[in-house]
């Protein structure tokens, strides 16, 4: 996968651009990112915000090593190993869909 494919996947799955990075938010605070993808020239980093407010790198991988599964999810960044990411993406996507209906 490349930078554009990862960004397109993220935006289609509930992520939103906050401060220039695809980000997920808490349902209770939809303007504050708690997970973000930092897209650099050759690598992508998955970062999680600590309760103290600092970003911690959770995973990082070169674009060439990231592959998409049959559903298009990028494998290798930890999404597949922690179910909370999938649930958070679903909550963010549901919030976006319902906001368009109202």
Q: Give the pTM.
A: 0.86
71 burial type by CB count under 10 A (0-12 exposed, 13-18 middle, 19+ buried): exposed
For residue 73, the 8-state DSSP code is P
Taking only the tens place, the pLDDT of each residue in 52-101 is 999 999 999 999 999 888 877 888 888 777 778 888 888 999 988 887 77
Domain edges within the chain: 3-101
Taking only the tens place, the pLDDT of each residue in 1-45 is 999 999 999 999 889 999 999 999 988 888 899 999 999 999 999
Tokens coding 96: 């976006």
d(CA 99, CA 41): 33
d(CA 42, CA 21): 15
In the predicted model, what is the mean pLDDT of residues 47-51? 92
The strands making up 43-49's β-sheet, listed across from edge to edge, are 16-18, 21-26, 29-39, 43-49, 55-62
């Amino acid at each position: 996968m490349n930078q554009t494919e990862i960004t397109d996947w993220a935006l289609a799955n509930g992520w939103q651009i906050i401060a220039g990075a695809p980000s997920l938010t808490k349902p209770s605070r939809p303007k504050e990112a708690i997970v973000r993808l930092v897209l650099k020239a050759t690598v992508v980093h998955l970062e999680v915000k600590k309760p103290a407010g600092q970003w911690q790198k959770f995973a990082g991988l070169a674009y060439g090593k990231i592959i998409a599964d049959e559903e298009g999810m990028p494998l290798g960044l930890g999404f597949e190993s922690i179910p909370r990411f999938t649930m958070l993406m679903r909550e963010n996507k549901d919030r976006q869909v319902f906001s368009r209906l109202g």
